[in-house]
Structure 1
Amino acid sequence: MLVNNRTRKPGRLRRLLQASLLVTAVAGTALPAFAQTPLTLKFAHRFSSKHYLWTDAGAVFTEQVKQASNGRIAFELYPAGQLGKDYFSLLRSGLADIAIFIPSYESEKLPMSSVAELPGMYANACEGTRRYWKLARPAGVLGEGEFARQGLHVLFVAAMPPYTLMTTRKPITRLDEVQGLKLRSTGASMIKTAQALGGVPVQIPSSETYEALSRGTVDGAIFLHYGLPPYNLEDLTRYAVDGVNLGGGVIAFAISQQAWAKLPTDIQAVMTQAAQATQETFCQGLDEDDRKIREDMVKHRGHQVAQLTPAEISRWNDKLKQVIDAWLADMQAVGQDGKGVLKTFQGTNGQEI
């Protein structure tokens, strides 16, 4: 999961306008203003105020709520972990009302959300976002299950574009060429993915990936093109593989159930509409930027993307099935319905959810 705090150039104004138009179309008109002190919600997160998950998602959402409520809702912001990083405790205690959750960092409390991290679960950020939303929304199996158990009401979610294999010194065109490569990996699913392909997973934080690649501590990384610029990795990751999907990561924006229950129903409606508008425009931006970054690297930086043959793709996917089987076994071991959640996430016959 990418959680850097460096600045991106996210096209925030365009997406803010798109979200605004969507909220206006659904809500019709803004709520009437009242001569009263606005209700202030405390929003805490681990990112800087310039991080794309804030500028393109959190900030867009809060601005829409403020506008559509005619100022009846205000937000008090606590970025960069100012209140601490145990967001479950912060929301439970009332020190914060809304937070951004990274399920891969909270595997004990949100174990089933890791289904979205498995290889081959979705083709792009918007598909992954919609599929994960079906699970995590308040009426979904995870929304009613693991999120509700933590006292959370999920507002909206985001899935990152799928990861691929990137290397520094040699192109990869066959599965046997992965054997023994030291690959930067984080999270249980990514580690198992590296192992299934024959690589040696090396757990390195995103912030240390540049040094590890440049020094040869690792030979490559399981990464996404969208995540390269924040870490200045565009010139180090010279080669990538196309044709296989090595998993992804998800984010959840949630409000405490106690704070949600105190909101008037019309404000709840405004927040729900703003959340869904933000969710859609954000995933579109993720997919657009991921594609543009890859194209720019190929055109201007000599980045090479190897298209695997159908036979090779089949070999890779056969190995990746091990990761899914291991996840199902892990879920069964902790008494979770992994099969049911996996089936729901995948949908029926690959149709869009």
Structure 2
Amino acid sequence: MRKSIGFILLALVLVILPLSVDCGAKQFTLVFESMHPATHSRVGTPAPVVAGWLDAVERESGGRIKFERHWGGEPVPAREALDALRLGTIDVLAASQLLYSGKIAIADIGIMPRNYKTFTDIFDLWWNSPLGKIIDGVYQKRSNVKFMYPQVFAPENIQVSKRTKKIRTFEDLKGLKIRAAGGMANLSAKALGASPVTTASSEYYTAMQRGTIDAGIMTTYSLESYKMWEVCDQVVNPPIFNSCHIAVFMNLDTWKKVGPELQKVMIDAIRKMETKIISFIHVDDARIEKIAKEKGVEFYTLPREEQDKMWKALEPVWDMYVDKCTKQGLGKEAEQVREIISERFNAQ
């Protein structure tokens, strides 16, 4: 009888002890902000992309990490968010690195011509070459933030207005008023011989409808999200920005505070999701392209010789990238990044 009671007590201790350890494990509630609205079709809550990573981290950490989620540039305006992140006002930020290019331009490669041929290349180079360490190292030193991972979202093509003569050669792009989002996108439009018109995504439809622009550098999903297929009837390939990504940042002090175990949980979570994210983007773009074609949008691919002319015209954009980084004291790092990206792009 005494032996039975002893075994029961031992069993209870073995069950209760791990529970007490778990209860004593430190928990963190991190303030997350995205510059995009929660309704964004590609990087909002409907997609298994940024929100999917947040969910995975909460799940895989066993609840030790929870995110207080804010969307649409709240609680801090998007252009001020990197400074807020540096100071610890927020803990995690999903935003376009181009917003902060005036101070740190090293990650502008995420939305540039001839960057990555595939989304797989983005992740492979980030984790398995010096690329990720170079870019992350710059942000850690310059802004007290960790560049957690590149969040892939789309290629960007040239979309042509119904008012505009259809594109058949590289020369047809010259002289057009092309919508661009600023920064390297504007420089790319200039390199094509076009006139860049900086236009917010929310104003894109109206600008094309009114003839303020003849074409735009934009994503396939914008055809559906902004109903661009109502005012655009041609998409020109190959994408001028082949495979694009934004950034997911974390305050460096927060990163250190959560410790190695939870750091691994966060990185492992995105690594496990890479294939799912890429598949989602391809399937969703194919779905949208099918609908767009049914609505009369032509998807036209420039002949090979015309593509070569386009890529040659865009080469100086990379020189401008290096020059911009050099003025920020990041010339060496920019040259290294350019070499890594160029070697992979040209090898395929």
TM-score, length basis structure 2: 0.82
Show the counterpart of 1:81.
73
Residue identity (%): 22
Show the counterpart of 2:11.
none
1:95 aligns with 2:89: yes
Q: 1:155 to 1:76 in 2, by over 3 A?
A: same
Alignment check: 8 A CA contact 2:238 2:302 kept: yes
Q: 1:343 to 1:75 in 2, by over 3 A?
A: same
2:37 aligns with one of 39, 45, 48:
48
Matched residue type, 2:203: E
1:162-241 pair list within 5 angstroms:
162-169=155-162, 170-241=165-236
Q: How far did 1:129 drift?
A: 4.4
Q: Which region of structure 1 is more displaced relative to structure 2, 99-108 or 33-42? A: 33-42
Q: State the distance in 1 between where 2:124 and 2:248 align.
A: 14
Q: State the distance in 2 between where 1:261 and 1:216 align.
A: 51
Equivalent position SS for 2:93: strand
> Which is richer in strand?
2
Q: Which region of structure 1 is more displaced relative to structure 2, 215-224 or 317-326? A: 317-326
1:341 aligns with one of 315, 337, 348:
337
Q: 1:221 to 1:272 in 2, by over 3 A?
A: same
Matched residue type, 1:171: K
2:113 aligns with one of 114, 119, 140:
119
Over aligned residue pairs, what C-alpha RMSD do you find? 2.5
Unmatched 5+ stretches in structure 1: 1-30
Show the counterpart of 2:10.
none
Q: Which region of structure 1 is more displaced relative to structure 2, 262-271 or 126-135? A: 126-135
1:318 aligns with 2:306: no
Show the counterpart of 1:16.
none
Show the counterpart of 1:72.
64
Alignment check: 8 A CA contact 1:155 1:255 kept: yes
Q: State the distance in 1 between where 2:56 and 2:91 align.
A: 17
Tell me the matched-pair count: 319
Q: How far did 1:254 drift?
A: 1.8
Q: State the distance in 1 between where 2:288 and 2:275 align.
A: 20
Q: State the distance in 2 between where 1:135 and 1:48 align.
A: 33
Q: State the distance in 1 between where 2:120 and 2:150 align.
A: 10
Q: State the distance in 1 between where 2:229 and 2:30 align.
A: 39
Equivalent position SS for 1:271: helix
1:159 aligns with 2:147: no
1:330 aligns with 2:324: yes
Q: How far did 1:193 drift?
A: 1.6
TM-score, length basis structure 1: 0.81
Show the counterpart of 1:57.
49
Matched residue type, 1:188: G
Q: State the distance in 2 between where 1:347 and 1:255 align.
A: 29
Unmatched 5+ stretches in structure 2: 1-17
2:23 aligns with one of 9, 32, 35:
35
Alignment check: 8 A CA contact 2:44 2:51 kept: yes
Q: Which region of structure 1 is more displaced relative to structure 2, 329-338 or 101-110? A: 329-338
Show the counterpart of 2:142.
149
Q: 1:284 to 1:149 in 2, by over 3 A?
A: farther
Q: Which region of structure 1 is more displaced relative to structure 2, 152-161 or 231-240? A: 152-161
Q: How far did 1:93 drift?
A: 2.9
> Which is richer in helix?
2
- Which one has a bigger Cα radius of gyration? 2
Alignment check: 8 A CA contact 1:153 1:254 kept: yes
Q: How far did 1:223 drift?
A: 1.5
Alignment check: 8 A CA contact 1:120 1:244 kept: no
Q: How far did 1:350 drift?
A: 4.3
Q: State the distance in 1 between where 2:253 and 2:278 align.
A: 28
Q: How far did 1:78 drift?
A: 2.3
Q: 1:212 to 1:273 in 2, by over 3 A?
A: same
Equivalent position SS for 1:146: helix
1:253-302: CA deviations, max 9, x gaps? 1221111111143222211211222344223322332233223312x111
Q: How far did 1:127 drift?
A: 2.8
Equivalent position SS for 1:99: strand
Alignment check: 8 A CA contact 1:102 1:251 kept: yes
Matched residue type, 2:86: R
Q: 1:179 to 1:48 in 2, by over 3 A?
A: closer
Q: State the distance in 1 between where 2:90 and 2:27 align.
A: 17
Q: State the distance in 2 between where 1:82 and 1:190 align.
A: 26
Q: 1:211 to 1:112 in 2, by over 3 A?
A: same
Alignment check: 8 A CA contact 2:82 2:100 kept: no
Q: 1:245 to 1:132 in 2, by over 3 A?
A: farther
Equivalent position SS for 2:193: coil
Equivalent position SS for 2:52: helix
